[in-house]
């Protein structure tokens, strides 16, 4: 009897979760559900933490496959049908290297929105998740032990950071890809439409701290420190017109738009970081 009551309560809690409005950053538990459904080959949408038609359809497909009632609600039996990536809930255990499951995917989603993405959302606590967690812990003033325990989860429940300073657009502000989830991973900046050879302007006065080729997909990159822990990054350039150590004024040309690195066409990839955490540039752009 007690077990049945607990199952009913869990079902109601999940129902409320799916019915509740979500903030702009989505819901980490929904993102973990989407990750588990993707691993089952049932969900091909963006892992964004938002319950939409695709997520509900994937839940129903799982239920149909498992011989369960097709109500689209991931209750306890549906979660069990997801296997190891359908459990446990975030906060039920301290997470560390080698862990796998629903809670790891939720942790990865929270880390990404707080500025420390760790690659694809996959529910596996590997080297990249470990490195991202340690960087976040140091950023948040916690012991960087790589353990996702109560103190870390409390910190991750706070709103994501934003830029403390205002910035001007480095090129005309025509956003083609926003900051946030994209496919099965996370886009740590914004993409701005621009033609090859268009001038890229410094978004604020500052000092050039990187100028040249950057491994990892950025291609030709300029990074500028503006004070207050704020840095801006200008990636996929076709030419760099700034040198390491240069002082640049707001609006000064730092390079030209291109498509170097991991890029499918000419555009500017623009990032803003606050003490190392990637933040949504749109929180700063005038």
pLDDT tens for 93-147 read: 999 999 999 999 999 999 999 999 999 999 999 999 999 999 999 999 999 999 9
User: Would the pTM count as exceeding 0.75?
Assistant: yes
Question: What is the predicted pLDDT for the residue at 8?
Answer: 38
CB 79 within 8 A of CB 87: yes
Percentage of residues of the chain with pLDDT beyond 90? 91
pLDDT tens for 48-69 read: 999 999 999 999 999 999 999 9
User: Encoding tokens for residue 192?
Assistant: 């701005």
Distances (CA, A) of 18 to 49, 85, 170, 173, 282: 10, 19, 39, 34, 28
Sequence-distant (6+) residues with CB within 8 A of 29 are 17, 49, 89, 90, 102, 106
In order of start, what are the domains of the chain with their CATH numbers? 2-156 (1.10.101.10), 175-283 (2.70.70.10)
């Amino acid at each position: 009897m007690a077990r049945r009551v607990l199952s009913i309560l869990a079902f109601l809690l999940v129902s409320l979760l799916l019915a509740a409005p979500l903030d702009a950053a989505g819901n980490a538990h929904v993102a973990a559900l989407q990750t588990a459904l993707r691993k089952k080959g049932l969900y091909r949408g963006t892992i964004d933490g938002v319950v939409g038609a695709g997520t509900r359809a994937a839940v129903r497909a799982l239920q149909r496959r498992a011989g369960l009632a097709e109500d689209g609600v991931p209750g306890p039996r549906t979660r069990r049908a997801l296997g190891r990536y359908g459990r446990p809930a975030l906060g039920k255990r301290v997470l560390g290297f080698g862990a796998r499951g629903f809670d790891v995917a939720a942790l990865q989603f929270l880390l990404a929105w707080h500025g420390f993405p760790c690659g694809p959302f996959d529910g596996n606590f590997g080297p990249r998740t470990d490195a991202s967690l340690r960087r976040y812990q140091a950023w948040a003033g916690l012991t960087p032990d790589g353990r996702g325990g109560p103190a870390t989860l409390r910190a991750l429940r706070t709103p994501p950071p934003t830029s403390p300073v205002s910035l001007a657009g480095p090129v005309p502000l025509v956003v083609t890809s926003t900051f946030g989830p994209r496919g099965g991973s996370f886009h740590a900046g914004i993409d701005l439409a621009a033609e090859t050879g268009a001038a890229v302007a410094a978004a604020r006065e500052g000092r050039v701290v990187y100028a040249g080729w950057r491994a990892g997909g950025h291609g030709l990159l300029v990074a500028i420190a503006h004070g207050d822990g704020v840095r801006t990054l200008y990636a996929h350039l076709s030419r760099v017109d700034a040198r390491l150590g240069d002082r640049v004024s707001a609006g000064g040309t730092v390079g030209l738009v291109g498509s170097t690195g991991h890029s499918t066409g000419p555009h500017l990839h623009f990032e803003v970081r606050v003490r190392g955490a990637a933040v949504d540039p749109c929180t700063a752009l005038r």
